[in-house]
Amino acid sequence: MDETVSEFFRRTILKIPLTEMMTILKTWNFLSENQLQTVNFRQRKESLVQDLVLLCEENRASLNDAALLDIIYTQFHRHQKVWDVFQMSKGPGEDTDLFDMEQFKSSFKKILKRALKNVTVSFRDAEENAVWIRIAWGTQYRKPNQYKPAYVVYYSQTPYAFTSSSQLKSNLPLLGQALTVASKHHQIVKMDLRSRYLDSLKAIVFKQYNQTFETHNSTTPLQERSLGLDINMDSRIIHENKTEKERVQRVTQEIFGDYPQPRLEFAQYKLETKFKSDLNGGILAEREEPLRCLVKFSSPHLLEALKSLAPAGIADAPLSPLLTCIPNKGMNYFKIRDK
Strand 266-273 with 333-337, pairing: parallel
Collapse the DSSP code of 8 into the 3-class scheme (helix H, G, I; strand E, B; otherwise coil) and give the result: helix
Shortest distance in whole angstroms from residue 224 CB to another protein: 15
End-to-end CA separation in angstroms for the chain: 63
Strand order, beta sheet including 83-89: 119-126, 130-137, 150-155, 160-164, 83-89, 187-195
Task: Output the smallest distance, CB 211 to another protein, in A.
Answer: 6
Instruction: Name which of 43 and 218 has its Cβ closer to another protein.
Output: 218
CB of 97 to another protein, least distance (A): 7
Q: Report the residue number, 211 or 232, with the smaller CB distance to another protein.
A: 211
Q: Which amino acid is at 164?
A: S
Q: Which residues bind another protein (CB under 8 A)?
A: 95-102, 128-129, 155-158, 160, 205-208, 210-211, 213-217
User: In the complex with another protein, which residue's Cβ is closer, 171 or 202?
Assistant: 202
Q: Tell me whether residue 18 or residue 222 sits nearer to another protein (CB atom).
A: 222
Q: Which residues contact 161 (CB under 8 A, 6 or more apart)?
A: 85, 86, 88, 152, 153, 154, 179, 183, 188
Core vs surface per residue 109-127: b (16+ CB within 10 A) or e = bebbeeebeebbbbbbeee
- Which is nearer to another protein, 311 or 327 (by Cβ)? 327
Q: In angstroms, give the least distance from the CB of 269 to another protein.
A: 25
Rounded to a whole number of angstroms, the minimum distance from the CB of residue 129 to another protein is 4
